[in-house]
Homo-oligomer: A and B are copies of this chain.
Amino acid sequence: MNDSFVTIAEQMRTADTILLFTHINMDGDALGSSVALCRALRDLGKTCYILLEDEISDNLKFLDKDYCTWDPEIMKDPDLCVCLDCGEEGRFPKRAEKFREGKVKICIDHHRTSDPICDYNHIDPEASATGELVYKLIRCLDVPIDKEIGEALFAAITTDTGNFQYTNTTAETHRIAAELYDAGIDGNYVSIQIYERIRIERLRLTTRILDTLQLFGDGKVAITYVNQEMLDETGAGMDEAEGIVATLRSIDGVQISAILKEKNPGEIKVSMRAKEQGDVAMIAKEFAGGGHKKAAGFTLHCSMEEAVTLVSEKAMENLANGY
Protein backbone atom coordinates (compact mmCIF):
# COMPACT_ATOMS: atom_id res chain seq x y z
CA MET A 1 0.00 0.00 0.00
CA ASN A 2 1.56 3.28 -1.11
CA ASP A 3 1.97 6.25 1.21
CA SER A 4 0.47 9.36 -0.34
CA PHE A 5 2.63 12.24 -1.51
CA VAL A 6 0.82 14.38 1.07
CA THR A 7 2.17 12.11 3.83
CA ILE A 8 5.64 12.01 2.30
CA ALA A 9 5.70 15.80 1.81
CA GLU A 10 4.76 16.15 5.50
CA GLN A 11 7.78 14.05 6.49
CA MET A 12 10.01 16.22 4.32
CA ARG A 13 8.66 19.47 5.74
CA THR A 14 9.45 18.41 9.31
CA ALA A 15 13.02 17.29 8.45
CA ASP A 16 16.06 19.57 8.44
CA THR A 17 18.74 17.37 6.87
CA ILE A 18 17.87 15.16 3.90
CA LEU A 19 20.19 12.87 1.95
CA LEU A 20 19.09 11.55 -1.44
CA PHE A 21 20.19 8.26 -3.03
CA THR A 22 19.76 6.85 -6.50
CA HIS A 23 21.02 3.76 -8.29
CA ILE A 24 24.47 3.11 -9.75
CA ASN A 25 24.88 3.55 -13.53
CA MET A 26 22.65 6.60 -13.33
CA ASP A 27 20.46 7.39 -16.30
CA GLY A 28 18.52 10.59 -16.97
CA ASP A 29 15.62 9.51 -14.76
CA ALA A 30 17.82 8.58 -11.78
CA LEU A 31 19.81 11.82 -11.77
CA GLY A 32 17.10 14.10 -13.16
CA SER A 33 14.51 13.15 -10.55
CA SER A 34 17.11 13.37 -7.74
CA VAL A 35 18.30 16.83 -8.86
CA ALA A 36 14.73 18.13 -9.13
CA LEU A 37 13.87 16.95 -5.62
CA CYS A 38 17.16 18.20 -4.15
CA ARG A 39 16.62 21.65 -5.60
CA ALA A 40 12.99 21.76 -4.37
CA LEU A 41 14.02 20.74 -0.84
CA ARG A 42 16.76 23.38 -0.79
CA ASP A 43 14.15 25.93 -1.90
CA LEU A 44 12.29 24.96 1.28
CA GLY A 45 15.42 25.77 3.31
CA LYS A 46 16.49 22.16 3.88
CA THR A 47 20.10 20.98 3.93
CA CYS A 48 20.01 18.49 1.10
CA TYR A 49 22.52 16.57 -1.03
CA ILE A 50 22.55 13.65 -3.45
CA LEU A 51 25.09 11.07 -2.29
CA LEU A 52 26.74 9.12 -5.11
CA GLU A 53 29.24 6.28 -5.40
CA ASP A 54 29.94 6.32 -9.14
CA GLU A 55 30.69 8.96 -11.75
CA ILE A 56 28.05 11.00 -13.57
CA SER A 57 28.27 10.26 -17.29
CA ASP A 58 29.35 13.22 -19.43
CA ASN A 59 25.94 13.69 -21.03
CA LEU A 60 24.22 14.14 -17.64
CA LYS A 61 26.75 16.43 -15.95
CA PHE A 62 24.76 19.51 -16.98
CA LEU A 63 22.13 18.51 -14.39
CA ASP A 64 24.43 18.70 -11.38
CA LYS A 65 24.70 22.26 -10.10
CA ASP A 66 26.46 21.44 -6.83
CA TYR A 67 23.80 18.99 -5.65
CA CYS A 68 25.92 15.82 -5.84
CA THR A 69 28.52 14.68 -3.37
CA TRP A 70 30.67 11.60 -3.01
CA ASP A 71 31.43 12.28 0.66
CA PRO A 72 29.27 10.22 3.05
CA GLU A 73 30.47 12.46 5.91
CA ILE A 74 28.73 15.50 4.44
CA MET A 75 25.81 14.84 6.77
CA LYS A 76 25.74 13.00 10.12
CA ASP A 77 22.64 10.92 10.85
CA PRO A 78 20.32 12.62 8.36
CA ASP A 79 16.76 13.25 9.46
CA LEU A 80 15.64 11.67 6.20
CA CYS A 81 17.21 9.34 3.65
CA VAL A 82 15.32 9.03 0.34
CA CYS A 83 16.07 6.48 -2.38
CA LEU A 84 14.86 7.49 -5.84
CA ASP A 85 14.35 5.32 -8.93
CA CYS A 86 15.41 2.22 -6.99
CA GLY A 87 14.06 0.17 -4.14
CA GLU A 88 16.83 -2.12 -2.90
CA GLU A 89 20.20 -1.58 -1.30
CA GLY A 90 21.88 -3.67 -4.01
CA ARG A 91 21.31 -0.73 -6.34
CA PHE A 92 23.50 1.53 -4.11
CA PRO A 93 25.76 -1.08 -2.47
CA LYS A 94 28.58 1.15 -1.18
CA ARG A 95 26.06 3.63 0.26
CA ALA A 96 23.69 1.11 1.84
CA GLU A 97 25.15 1.56 5.31
CA LYS A 98 24.84 5.35 5.07
CA PHE A 99 21.23 4.97 3.88
CA ARG A 100 20.42 3.04 7.06
CA GLU A 101 21.70 5.98 9.12
CA GLY A 102 18.60 7.98 8.15
CA LYS A 103 16.22 8.47 11.08
CA VAL A 104 13.37 8.05 8.60
CA LYS A 105 13.69 6.31 5.23
CA ILE A 106 11.57 6.94 2.12
CA CYS A 107 11.43 5.19 -1.25
CA ILE A 108 10.08 6.82 -4.43
CA ASP A 109 10.25 4.54 -7.44
CA HIS A 110 8.44 3.23 -10.51
CA HIS A 111 10.11 -0.17 -10.85
CA ARG A 112 7.73 -3.09 -10.59
CA THR A 113 10.45 -5.15 -8.89
CA SER A 114 10.89 -2.81 -5.92
CA ASP A 115 9.54 -3.90 -2.54
CA PRO A 116 8.37 -1.36 0.04
CA ILE A 117 11.39 -1.67 2.34
CA CYS A 118 11.34 1.86 3.77
CA ASP A 119 9.29 3.62 6.46
CA TYR A 120 7.38 5.41 3.72
CA ASN A 121 7.09 4.10 0.18
CA HIS A 122 5.55 5.32 -3.02
CA ILE A 123 6.17 2.75 -5.74
CA ASP A 124 4.04 3.23 -8.83
CA PRO A 125 4.83 0.99 -11.82
CA GLU A 126 2.21 2.90 -13.84
CA ALA A 127 4.37 6.02 -13.79
CA SER A 128 6.50 6.37 -16.91
CA ALA A 129 9.44 7.69 -14.89
CA THR A 130 10.39 8.46 -11.30
CA GLY A 131 10.46 12.05 -12.61
CA GLU A 132 6.66 11.89 -12.95
CA LEU A 133 6.37 10.93 -9.28
CA VAL A 134 8.80 13.62 -8.14
CA TYR A 135 6.77 16.15 -10.15
CA LYS A 136 3.70 15.23 -8.10
CA LEU A 137 5.65 15.26 -4.84
CA ILE A 138 7.03 18.74 -5.58
CA ARG A 139 3.46 19.91 -6.24
CA CYS A 140 2.55 18.59 -2.77
CA LEU A 141 5.57 20.36 -1.28
CA ASP A 142 4.14 23.56 -2.78
CA VAL A 143 7.47 24.53 -4.32
CA PRO A 144 7.07 26.46 -7.61
CA ILE A 145 8.54 24.55 -10.55
CA ASP A 146 11.06 26.83 -12.22
CA LYS A 147 13.23 26.31 -15.31
CA GLU A 148 15.92 24.36 -13.46
CA ILE A 149 13.59 21.92 -11.69
CA GLY A 150 11.58 21.65 -14.90
CA GLU A 151 14.59 20.74 -17.03
CA ALA A 152 15.72 18.10 -14.54
CA LEU A 153 12.22 16.56 -14.60
CA PHE A 154 12.12 16.77 -18.41
CA ALA A 155 15.48 14.94 -18.59
CA ALA A 156 14.01 12.25 -16.33
CA ILE A 157 10.79 11.79 -18.29
CA THR A 158 12.19 12.04 -21.82
CA THR A 159 14.86 9.45 -20.97
CA ASP A 160 12.54 6.85 -19.49
CA THR A 161 9.81 7.23 -22.12
CA GLY A 162 12.28 6.99 -25.02
CA ASN A 163 11.28 10.51 -26.03
CA PHE A 164 7.60 9.89 -25.43
CA GLN A 165 7.52 6.85 -27.74
CA TYR A 166 7.46 3.86 -25.35
CA THR A 167 4.31 2.14 -24.15
CA ASN A 168 4.73 3.65 -20.67
CA THR A 169 3.85 7.11 -22.05
CA THR A 170 0.37 8.28 -21.01
CA ALA A 171 -1.87 11.32 -21.25
CA GLU A 172 -0.54 12.29 -17.84
CA THR A 173 3.08 12.13 -19.04
CA HIS A 174 2.25 14.68 -21.73
CA ARG A 175 0.25 16.86 -19.33
CA ILE A 176 3.24 17.01 -17.00
CA ALA A 177 5.54 17.84 -19.94
CA ALA A 178 3.16 20.67 -20.87
CA GLU A 179 3.43 22.04 -17.31
CA LEU A 180 7.21 21.91 -17.56
CA TYR A 181 7.08 23.93 -20.78
CA ASP A 182 4.82 26.41 -18.99
CA ALA A 183 7.58 26.68 -16.37
CA GLY A 184 9.91 27.85 -19.12
CA ILE A 185 12.05 24.80 -19.87
CA ASP A 186 14.17 24.54 -23.00
CA GLY A 187 13.46 20.92 -23.88
CA ASN A 188 15.69 21.05 -26.95
CA TYR A 189 18.66 22.17 -24.81
CA VAL A 190 18.10 19.19 -22.52
CA SER A 191 17.87 16.82 -25.50
CA ILE A 192 21.09 18.15 -27.03
CA GLN A 193 22.89 17.62 -23.71
CA ILE A 194 21.59 14.08 -23.28
CA TYR A 195 21.66 12.79 -26.86
CA GLU A 196 24.12 14.92 -28.84
CA ARG A 197 27.27 14.14 -26.93
CA ILE A 198 28.09 10.79 -28.52
CA ARG A 199 31.80 9.95 -28.29
CA ILE A 200 33.44 9.48 -31.68
CA GLU A 201 34.86 6.19 -30.34
CA ARG A 202 31.31 5.02 -29.71
CA LEU A 203 30.26 5.86 -33.25
CA ARG A 204 33.26 4.00 -34.66
CA LEU A 205 32.42 0.98 -32.50
CA THR A 206 28.81 1.08 -33.68
CA THR A 207 30.00 0.96 -37.29
CA ARG A 208 32.29 -2.00 -36.54
CA ILE A 209 29.49 -3.87 -34.76
CA LEU A 210 26.99 -3.26 -37.57
CA ASP A 211 29.58 -4.73 -39.96
CA THR A 212 29.09 -8.07 -38.16
CA LEU A 213 25.34 -8.08 -38.76
CA GLN A 214 23.91 -11.45 -39.83
CA LEU A 215 20.29 -12.18 -40.63
CA PHE A 216 18.61 -15.55 -40.07
CA GLY A 217 15.17 -17.09 -40.57
CA ASP A 218 14.11 -15.06 -43.62
CA GLY A 219 15.37 -11.86 -42.04
CA LYS A 220 13.35 -12.22 -38.85
CA VAL A 221 16.41 -12.66 -36.62
CA ALA A 222 19.28 -10.13 -36.56
CA ILE A 223 22.52 -10.90 -34.72
CA THR A 224 25.69 -8.86 -34.18
CA TYR A 225 28.67 -9.25 -31.91
CA VAL A 226 31.44 -7.26 -30.27
CA ASN A 227 34.78 -8.61 -29.08
CA GLN A 228 37.76 -7.18 -27.22
CA GLU A 229 39.68 -6.61 -30.45
CA MET A 230 36.96 -4.23 -31.67
CA LEU A 231 37.12 -2.30 -28.40
CA ASP A 232 40.92 -2.02 -28.66
CA GLU A 233 40.74 -0.87 -32.28
CA THR A 234 38.16 1.85 -31.68
CA GLY A 235 39.09 2.94 -28.16
CA ALA A 236 35.48 2.48 -27.02
CA GLY A 237 34.27 0.72 -23.88
CA MET A 238 31.93 -2.30 -23.81
CA ASP A 239 29.21 -0.11 -22.26
CA GLU A 240 29.24 1.92 -25.48
CA ALA A 241 27.75 -1.04 -27.33
CA GLU A 242 24.48 -0.33 -25.49
CA GLY A 243 21.58 0.62 -27.69
CA ILE A 244 22.66 -1.22 -30.83
CA VAL A 245 20.33 -4.13 -30.09
CA ALA A 246 17.43 -1.65 -30.27
CA THR A 247 18.69 -0.35 -33.63
CA LEU A 248 18.70 -3.93 -34.95
CA ARG A 249 15.11 -4.39 -33.79
CA SER A 250 14.17 -1.41 -35.95
CA ILE A 251 15.18 -3.18 -39.18
CA ASP A 252 12.12 -3.90 -41.31
CA GLY A 253 11.02 -7.52 -40.85
CA VAL A 254 13.24 -8.24 -37.86
CA GLN A 255 11.33 -9.69 -34.92
CA ILE A 256 14.16 -10.78 -32.63
CA SER A 257 17.55 -9.09 -32.36
CA ALA A 258 20.63 -9.92 -30.32
CA ILE A 259 24.07 -8.56 -29.56
CA LEU A 260 26.74 -10.95 -28.30
CA LYS A 261 29.41 -9.31 -26.13
CA GLU A 262 32.70 -11.08 -25.46
CA LYS A 263 33.35 -10.18 -21.82
CA ASN A 264 36.33 -12.55 -21.56
CA PRO A 265 37.63 -15.22 -23.94
CA GLY A 266 34.88 -17.87 -23.98
CA GLU A 267 32.46 -15.79 -21.86
CA ILE A 268 29.72 -14.18 -23.91
CA LYS A 269 26.98 -11.91 -22.61
CA VAL A 270 23.86 -12.02 -24.79
CA SER A 271 21.33 -9.16 -24.93
CA MET A 272 18.12 -9.83 -26.83
CA ARG A 273 15.11 -7.79 -27.92
CA ALA A 274 11.79 -8.80 -29.46
CA LYS A 275 9.47 -6.60 -31.52
CA GLU A 276 5.87 -7.64 -32.14
CA GLN A 277 6.51 -11.40 -32.19
CA GLY A 278 8.92 -13.32 -29.97
CA ASP A 279 9.39 -13.85 -26.24
CA VAL A 280 13.07 -13.50 -25.39
CA ALA A 281 12.51 -14.07 -21.65
CA MET A 282 11.74 -17.70 -22.61
CA ILE A 283 15.16 -18.01 -24.24
CA ALA A 284 16.97 -16.26 -21.38
CA LYS A 285 15.33 -18.58 -18.84
CA GLU A 286 16.78 -21.62 -20.60
CA PHE A 287 20.27 -20.25 -19.98
CA ALA A 288 19.70 -19.06 -16.39
CA GLY A 289 19.29 -15.45 -17.47
CA GLY A 290 16.53 -12.92 -16.80
CA GLY A 291 14.45 -10.09 -18.17
CA HIS A 292 11.06 -9.69 -19.69
CA LYS A 293 9.25 -10.72 -22.86
CA LYS A 294 10.64 -8.01 -25.11
CA ALA A 295 14.09 -7.48 -23.50
CA ALA A 296 16.19 -10.15 -21.79
CA GLY A 297 19.76 -11.33 -21.34
CA PHE A 298 21.99 -14.24 -20.30
CA THR A 299 25.58 -15.49 -20.41
CA LEU A 300 27.06 -18.27 -22.58
CA HIS A 301 30.36 -20.09 -22.16
CA CYS A 302 31.54 -21.00 -25.66
CA SER A 303 33.20 -19.47 -28.71
CA MET A 304 31.63 -16.48 -30.50
CA GLU A 305 30.93 -18.63 -33.55
CA GLU A 306 29.10 -21.23 -31.46
CA ALA A 307 27.19 -18.48 -29.66
CA VAL A 308 25.95 -16.96 -32.94
CA THR A 309 24.74 -20.37 -34.10
CA LEU A 310 23.06 -21.20 -30.78
CA VAL A 311 21.32 -17.85 -30.34
CA SER A 312 20.10 -17.75 -33.95
CA GLU A 313 18.66 -21.28 -33.62
CA LYS A 314 16.94 -20.48 -30.33
CA ALA A 315 15.46 -17.30 -31.78
CA MET A 316 14.13 -19.03 -34.91
CA GLU A 317 12.69 -21.82 -32.76
CA ASN A 318 11.02 -19.24 -30.49
CA LEU A 319 9.34 -17.55 -33.47
CA ALA A 320 8.41 -20.91 -35.03
CA ASN A 321 6.66 -21.85 -31.78
CA GLY A 322 4.44 -18.81 -32.20
CA TYR A 323 5.73 -16.63 -29.37
Which chain A residues numbered 192 to 226 have a C-beta less than 8 Å away from chain B? 192, 195-200, 203-204, 206-207, 210-211, 213, 215, 219
Answer whether residue A177 sits at the interface, using C-beta atoms and an 8 A cutoff: yes
Contact with B along A247-259 (1 / 0, CB 8 A): 1011111000000
Q: Which chain B residues border A179 with CB–CB below 8 Å?
A: 171
Answer whether residue A175 sits at the interface, using C-beta atoms and an 8 A cutoff: yes
Docked-complex contact B164 and A158, CB < 8 angstroms: yes
How many A residues touch B, CB cutoff 8 Å?
46
Identical chains in the assembly: 2
State how many angstroms separate the Cβ of A294 from the closest Cβ of chain B.
Answer: 11
Docked-complex contact B177 and A174, CB < 8 angstroms: yes
Docked-complex contact B163 and A172, CB < 8 angstroms: no
Docked-complex contact B187 and A178, CB < 8 angstroms: no
Docked-complex contact A251 and B171, CB < 8 angstroms: no
Contact with B along A63-79 (1 / 0, CB 8 A): 00000000000000000
State how many angstroms separate the Cβ of A222 from the closest Cβ of chain B.
Answer: 8
Docked-complex contact A276 and B187, CB < 8 angstroms: no
Selected from B187, B204, B252, the residue in CB contact (under 8 A) with A197 is B252
Q: Given A158-B165, A187-B169, answer yes or no on A250-B198 (Cβ-Cβ < 8 Å).
A: yes
Docked-complex contact A187 and B164, CB < 8 angstroms: yes
Selected from B58, B165, B187, the residue in CB contact (under 8 A) with A187 is B165
Contact with B along A169-186 (1 / 0, CB 8 A): 111111101110110000
Q: Which chain B residues border A321 with CB–CB below 8 Å?
A: none
Answer whether residue A167 sits at the interface, using C-beta atoms and an 8 A cutoff: yes
Bound-state Cα–Cα, A175 to B179, Å: 9
Name 23 interchain pairs, CB-CB below 8 A, sorted by A: A164-B164, A164-B187, A165-B188, A165-B191, A166-B188, A170-B181, A172-B178, A174-B177, A174-B178, A175-B175, A195-B250, A196-B250, A196-B251, A197-B250, A200-B215, A203-B210, A203-B213, A203-B247, A203-B251, A204-B210, A206-B210, A207-B210, A207-B211
Q: A172-B178, A192-B276 are in contact. List 19 more A-B contacts (CB 8 A).
A: A158-B165, A163-B163, A163-B164, A165-B187, A165-B188, A165-B195, A169-B188, A171-B178, A171-B179, A173-B178, A174-B181, A198-B251, A199-B251, A200-B219, A200-B252, A203-B247, A204-B210, A204-B213, A207-B210
